Amino acid sequence: MTKSGTHAWGTQAEMFGPRHEHRLAMIVREVDRIPKGGRVLDGAIGLGQLAGRMQQRGYRVVGIDYAFEAALHVKRTSTIPAIVGDMTRMPFLDGAFDGVTTGETLEHLDDDASAAREIARVLRDGGTSIATVPALQSLWNASDVYFEHRRRYSAAQLQSLFKNAGLEIAKSTYWGFPVVLTYDTLFLLPMNKRRARRKVDEDAALQSVARAGRSRVLVNLVRAVFAVDALFAWLPFGPGLLLVGRKGIRRGD
């Protein structure tokens, strides 16, 4: 693996564990509204977990990622086509996809507006975009630095980004309060501070945490606790945002 900023690609805590699985499940629930057999772009594909689940559910999935390691990993571990590319200048035809997913990606980009316009461009009329991002600049902390975030979003900012790209907002909701936020504060933040100072392969405690993050039993148990947050979904607050945008169907001249 190559070194990128504060961590080696593919080792980030945000790619594993109960929080990651909880967020993927939210995206998949929205993807299920796209007709089966539809062509869906996953950007950025990362380790391919989301793309793999969409493929298993009957979607024709294509992945794009700026990291060569991501495309290579997906090629080696799945049958999903994945290319190296820039989400602000994607090499796809207009209207090529029925859906586009982008989980925890826009906050890493200098030009998120161009990425949103590209998402809208490659969507067919009536197509769906599903995005998740970290929410609320007031919650910025050392984990954002570790994850190499450029920003956090308010609901209004994220909605404006997609509206300006030409999409209609079908859903916009904060998630993760109070349980996921507590998990982030008491567990993820201290762990990331430690990971920023030490290499995982040289730290027994970090290695134990990494193994725990891959335990299906433990992950499912913590995710069950995260479900409590659904009771508070009406509050305009949380560490994450989920947005569903739709491309309007253009009428004939």
pLDDT digits (tens, 9 = 90+) for 38-68: 999 999 999 999 999 999 999 999 999 999 9
Q: What is the mean pLDDT of residues 220-244?
A: 95
Strands (DSSP E) contained in the chain are 3-4, 7-8, 39-43, 60-65, 82-84, 97-103, 123-134, 167-175, 240-247
pLDDT value, residue 210: 72
The chain-wide mean pLDDT, for the chain, equals 90
Helix 49-56 crosses helix 17-31 at what angle (to 10 degrees)? 40
Contact (Cβ atoms closer than 8 angstroms) between residue 61 and residue 42: yes
pLDDT value, residue 198: 77
CA distance 37 to 118: 22
CA distance 42 to 102: 6
What's the pTM value of the predicted model, to 2 decimals? 0.89
Read off the tokens for 78: 């799945």
pLDDT digits (tens, 9 = 90+) for 118-133: 999 999 999 999 999 9
Residue 2's pLDDT band (cuts 50, 70, 90): very low
> How do strand 39-43 and strand 97-103 relate by DSSP bridges?
parallel
Share of the chain above pLDDT 90, in %: 78
CA distance 160 to 183: 29
Domain made up of 3-247: CATH architecture: 3-Layer(aba) Sandwich (3.40)
Does the bond joining 81 to the residue before it have cis omega, within 30 degrees of 0? no
CA distance 92 to 97: 9
3-state DSSP helix/strand/coil % of the chain, to nearest 5: 45, 25, 30
